[in-house]
Amino acid sequence: MFDSMRSLAMRHFQLSLCLALIAQTEGTLHAQCLNYSSQFPFSNGLPGGGETWDMVVHDVGNGPELFVGGEFNASSGRHVAKWNGTSWTGFANGPGQASDWVAALEFFDDGAGERLYAGGSFSIQLPGSSIWHYYNFASWNGTSWEPVPGWGTWPGAQVLDLTVFDDGSGPALYAAGAFNVTGQYGIARYLPGVGWTSLGTGGADSWLTTLAVFDDGSGPALYAAGNFTQIGGVSAYHIARWNGTSWVPVGTPSDNINPVRLVPFDDGTGPALYASSSGPNKIVRWNGLAWSGVPGWPSSMFGLPLGTFDSGQGRRLIVNSNNPAAYEWNGSAWAPSLTEVQGIVYCMTEYDDGHGGGPSLYFTGQLGRVAGMESWRIGALRRSCVEPVDTMCFGDGTVATCPCLNQGLRGNGCANSVAPSGARLSHSGLPTNDTLALTTINQPANSATIVLQATEAVQTRTPFGDGLLCLGGRLVRLFTRTASNGSIVVPGPGDPTLRDRSAQRGDPLVPGNVRYYQAYYRDVDAAFCPAPTGGTSNMTNGVRVVW
């Protein structure tokens, strides 16, 4: 039985390699004892369609909180939601319709106190009214969304980015996108007590997508990028700088700047503004005088600068990719980053969620699983060894359906013939001092059981007997046991530790290695989930361990 099971498992794994979008590798981040959060399964992530486009951290009096905006339409928040480190809070009266989306969030003091501003393409429902109006730009007054004075109701207008900047005329809220609020297209500023004003002597000839404040050593300046070739009466190919009185081109058309994201970063060679390019250099930087390519970009795909993060070895620039999900630049070389993220990352920010160890790296995008765990459109990488062990691969139907619709409870595997809740694999002890132990419950009495260890978690769960297999890469049979009273514990008395057992099986573990565990067990009741859909075996949930 065991030999045939192992052979089938390897066939499943080989198939998963062909289908996987993102192959996981062990990267430099693990060496800093970083751990991914398990707080964002389907019910607590951002499901409902669409992506998250912006995140901002702010303290409105309750401690720092993470505000997110996007296309998502979750029960926890429709298009805008707030995360306090443990739970989500939504916002009333919009943005609320299914086709709405929020592209930008920013806090700004308009003279009457600090407020959250949101821009995008969305409608709000004013208090006391049953009608939805497309304002596309609104502020949160503490209890409801309300339109920004002077903006108007324009269904076709879109706000794509917001930032606060003082160009010498006082702090102002700058908006970029596809709109015309001042008689000039693409960009405008909102001054307290004044309202909307234009910048320069003319607008842009096409939409703007992103704004950034960058100091090249001569003082902070506002940079704007977009689809334009002219702004303020000045020829500028996709990017320009506002000096307080007029627009100045940044580079030349031959630089081929992609106007999606601008990220300031000093890699040790001086401050620079990083962007992506459609030219021969995929990642480029502006030093205040000229653009230059960042050498050695290891991916064949276009990369989007996301932001910066210090994982314990100094601050790095993070640029998204495909396989792995991102790379980090340390000033001299690129290294894989976010290696256990399965999907495409669009946005990231640092947020201290109170978990310990300092700010965590929060990221959003087309995500479904992170480190083998469900993580719906949002994930977090924590600078802490507090939780080196997490559970994963649940048979509750949130991501994959159990073979005979035999869903178990959250945290367990698929249901079996004696336990509708499903068998559970849990842990005790710690990998850091080699006291880690694995325990199963809710199995059929005296069922033959194998505890498996794997180097990868496959992206798509594979039906396996009556359960779901989530293991891939190199599979190792650690222990074979009989479930006395439906339970086993490994290691048992006289057994080698999990680390020693892994070494004996040809997979020596070093600090920072990530391994995945599931228990495979017999369920001889062939009528419970009959062949060919099921069989006479099942799987527990999984456990992920950072050694």
Q: Exposed, middle or buried by CB within 10 Å (0-12, 13-18, 19+), for 114?
A: exposed
Residue 473 lies in a domain: yes
pLDDT of residue 19: 22
- Which pLDDT score is estimated for 24? 30
Say if residues 508 and 451 touch (Cβ distance below 8 Å). no
User: Is the bond into 324 cis (omega within 30 degrees of 0)?
Assistant: yes
Q: Is residue 344 situated within a structural domain? A: no
When mean pLDDT is compared across 141-155, 197-211, 500-514, the lowest value belongs to: 141-155
Same domain for 414 and 538? yes
- 421 with 319, same domain: the answer is no
CA 544, 318, 171, 240 dihedral sign is negative
> Does residue 239 carry a pLDDT above 60?
yes
**Range from 132-136, 180-184, 221-225, 530-534 carrying the lowest mean pLDDT:** 132-136
Count, residues in the chain: 547
Residue type, 84: N
CA 491/CA 504 separation, integer angstroms: 14
With cut-offs at 50, 70 and 90, classify the pLDDT of residue 398.
low
Is residue 377 a contact partner of residue 48, using CB atoms and an 8 Å limit?
Answer: no
Rounded to whole angstroms, the maximal C-alpha distance in the chain is 82
Q: What is the pLDDT of residue 14?
A: 28
Tokens read off for 187:
């960009």
Please check whether residues 314 and 397 belong to one and the same domain: no
Mean pLDDT of 12-40: 43
Percent with pLDDT over 90 in the chain: 60
Q: What is the mean pLDDT of residues 196-223?
A: 93
- Predicted confidence at residue 460, as pLDDT, reads 61
pLDDT over 50 (residue 161) = yes
Q: Look at the chain and report how many structural domains it folds into.
A: 2
As given in the structure block, the two tokens for residue 274 are 């990083």
Find, among 24, 13, 41, 74, the residue nearest to 368 by Cα: 41
For residue 84, the SS3 value is coil
Residue 366 forms part of a structural domain:
no
The model's pLDDT over 274-322, given as tens digits with 9 standing for 90+, comes to 999 999 999 999 999 999 999 999 988 889 999 999 877 789 999 999 8
Residues 511-526, mean pLDDT to the nearest whole number: 93
Is residue 293 a part of any domain in this protein? Answer: yes
d(CA 386, CA 187): 46
pLDDT at 393: 85
The answer to whether residue 411 is domain-embedded is yes
Q: What is the mean pLDDT of residues 261-265?
A: 96
Distances (CA, A) of 470 to 69, 151, 407, 437, 523: 31, 51, 16, 20, 19
Residue 441 lies in a domain: yes
pLDDT band at 230 (very low <50, low <70, confident <90, very high): very high
Q: How many Å apart are CA 486 and CA 354, to the nearest integer?
A: 38
Say yes or no: 313 and 397 in one domain: no
Per residue in 415-470, pLDDT (tens digit) is 999 999 999 999 999 898 899 999 999 999 999 999 999 998 875 677 899 999 98
Beta bridge partners of 515: 545
> Is residue 455 domain-shared with residue 521, that is, in the same domain?
yes
Question: Is there a domain that residue 383 lies in?
Answer: no
Sign (positive/negative) of CA torsion 484, 489, 494, 500? positive
The answer as to whether 318 is a domain residue is: yes
Sign of CA dihedral 119, 95, 79, 143: positive
Interval 14-36 mean pLDDT: 38
Phi, psi values for residue 47, rounded to 5°? -80, -175
**Mean pLDDT score, 252-270:** 94
The whole-number pLDDT of residue 382 equals: 84
Range of the domain at 432: 2-13+390-546
